[in-house]
């Protein structure tokens, strides 16, 4: 009896030690300098400057001239979007862009929310800061940073922001939202030196939130925003009260993940797989191997030689639109590849899609946005943050048409305090832009859960 008790105490102590040690693991980082030349001798200017998106006759004339000089190329017969963006439909999009799209009106829409720039580690960081117009007396707002990905922008959140800052239900929480542009994206200055990866972006966004006066806050992300906000939780878990994601591909493969892939189809309950999990994951070879290959060609280019293809996209607005909008087709639903129009306007308006393209075009950010892949993939794929669990409260919104489907079992391997896992009824990769109502509801549900604790 004594031996068994001693053994139990030893095992319990070992488990407690391992858990405590893992909980003490934080991501290590050092300040960087991404401006031109060497950092200044004195302290960095921390002034926050108001910012507005602007345009000019010269900018529009240059755009129209380049559009008019594009050289159309016919698509193959019956190819739809299976060879990329269908050329016949591209002509319709370009015609709308050239003749009907009103960029000045969209600039006014972009400026409806307060925007700012502030210099952090040598580069100007652009962000929205949206406070509630009115709120009930005695209620505090919940600070929330939302981070976009590629080929999106801060504009992805424009439909979501009012649902969080001005909720219609008086029982809902009221958020104060910060939406930064990743350095090298949109109106944030691009790093001038090599090595700017997701950890650097996470460190800069921590500094941004502290500069705005937030010692604790929630974070939300999809696409690159998933990794950046995850790194934020790993860097300073005491500052991130809760982490909400809608994208979380496995960062490393484990034995339990391998077994779930092999046996999950036949013994789904053993791995906690739902009917939705089985539908999404199998047939295994097609869903987990072939499908990602069909959609990852861009990744290999951007992770190796982004500047080469990027130079062509930076010169051609039509090429840029085709490159970006193809993702808004196939990443929204893979079956859209089989449609002549790519299903683009089934979930989005051309005005919204072209506004996102124009953010890339007018800021000239396509090359630095693509470099972010090289900076993250050029390093050791087993770098530190892949091995550190996230132990801040986490919520995951699982959209069925996401490019990379992640069942609850796999999410929990990385995010140890998974407070909520919500299987969504519809939606794909650009969920915040495609289904803002569903996203707002899940952010509300998750945050209420954490706040009650």
Query: Which residues are known to be catalytic?
Result: 223, 373, 429
Triad 222, 178, 132: Cα angle to 5°: 120
Tokens of 402: 């996401």
Helix (H) or strand (E) holding 123: strand 123-130
Tokens of 158: 């424009």
What does the alpha-carbon distance between residue 262 and residue 269 come to, in Å, rounded to a whole number? 14
Residues 6+ apart with CB under 8 A from 91: 72
Judge contact between 191 and 127, C-beta under 8 A.
Answer: no
**Other C-beta atoms lying within 10 Å of the C-beta of residue 379:** 12
Residues 6+ apart with CB under 8 A from 198: 224, 227, 228, 231, 372, 376, 385
- 342 alpha-carbon distance from chain centroid: 22
Q: Using CB atoms within 10 A of its CB, is residue 120 exposed (0-12), middle (13-18) or buried (19+)?
A: buried
Backbone angles phi and psi of 419, in degrees to 5: -80, -30
H helix intervals, 100-215: 103-110, 161-165, 198-211
- 155 alpha-carbon distance from chain centroid: 12
What does the alpha-carbon distance between residue 83 and residue 326 come to, in Å, rounded to a whole number? 10
SS3 content of the chain, % helix, strand, coil (to 5): 50, 15, 40
What does the alpha-carbon distance between residue 11 and residue 13 come to, in Å, rounded to a whole number? 5
| Counts of helices then strands in the chain (DSSP H, E) | 20, 9
What does the alpha-carbon distance between residue 35 and residue 267 come to, in Å, rounded to a whole number? 54
Q: Using CB atoms within 10 A of its CB, is residue 214 exposed (0-12), middle (13-18) or buried (19+)?
A: middle
Backbone angles phi and psi of 333, in degrees to 5: -160, 125
């Amino acid at each position: 009896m004594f031996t068994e008790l001693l053994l139990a105490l030893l095992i319990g102590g070992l488990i407690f030690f391992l858990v405590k040690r893992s909980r003490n693991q934080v991501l290590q980082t050092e300040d960087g300098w991404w401006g031109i030349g060497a950092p200044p001798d004195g302290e960095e200017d921390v002034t926050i400057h108001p910012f507005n998106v602007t345009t000019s006759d010269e900018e529009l004339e240059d755009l129209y001239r380049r559009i008019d000089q594009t050289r159309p190329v016919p698509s193959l017969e019956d190819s739809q979007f299976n060879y990329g963006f269908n050329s016949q439909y591209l002509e319709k999009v370009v015609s709308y862009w050239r003749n009907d799209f009103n960029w000045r009106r969209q600039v006014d829409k972009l400026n409806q929310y307060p925007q700012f720039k502030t210099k952090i580690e040598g580069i100007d960081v652009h962000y929205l800061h949206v406070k509630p117009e009115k709120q009930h007396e005695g209620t505090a707002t919940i600070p929330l940073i939302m981070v976009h990905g590629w080929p999106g922008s801060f504009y992805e959140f424009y439909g979501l922001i009012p649902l969080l800052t001005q909720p219609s239900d008086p029982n809902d929480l009221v958020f104060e939202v910060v939406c930064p542009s990743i350095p090298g994206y949109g109106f944030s200055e691009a790093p001038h030196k090599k090595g700017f990866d997701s950890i650097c972006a996470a460190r800069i966004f921590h500094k941004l939130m502290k500069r705005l006066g937030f010692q604790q806050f929630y974070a939300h992300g999809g696409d690159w925003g998933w990794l950046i906000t995850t790194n934020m939780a790993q860097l300073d878990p005491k500052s991130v009260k809760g982490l909400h994601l809608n994208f979380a591909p496995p960062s490393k493969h484990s034995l339990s993940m391998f077994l779930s892939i092999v046996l999950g189809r036949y013994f789904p309950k053993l791995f906690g797989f739902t009917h939705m999990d089985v539908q999404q994951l199998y047939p295994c070879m097609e869903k987990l191997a072939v499908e990602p290959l069909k959609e990852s060609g861009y990744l290999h280019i951007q992770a190796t030689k982004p500047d080469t293809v990027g130079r062509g996209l930076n010169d051609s607005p039509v090429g840029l639109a085709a490159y970006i909008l193809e993702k808004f087709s196939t990443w929204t639903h893979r079956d859209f590849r089989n449609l002549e129009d790519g299903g683009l306007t089934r979930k989005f308006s051309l005005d919204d899609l072209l506004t996102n393209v124009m953010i890339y075009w007018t800021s000239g950010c396509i090359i630095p946005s693509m470099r972010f892949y090289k900076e993250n993939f050029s390093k050791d794929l087993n770098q530190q943050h892949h091995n550190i669990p996230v132990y801040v409260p986490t919520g995951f919104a699982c959209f069925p048409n996401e490019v990379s489907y992640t069942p609850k079992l796999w999410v929990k391997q990385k995010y140890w305090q998974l407070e909520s896992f919500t299987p969504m009824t519809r939606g794909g990769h650009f969920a915040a832009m495609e289904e803002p109502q569903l996203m707002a509801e899940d952010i509300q549900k998750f945050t209420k859960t954490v706040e009650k604790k």
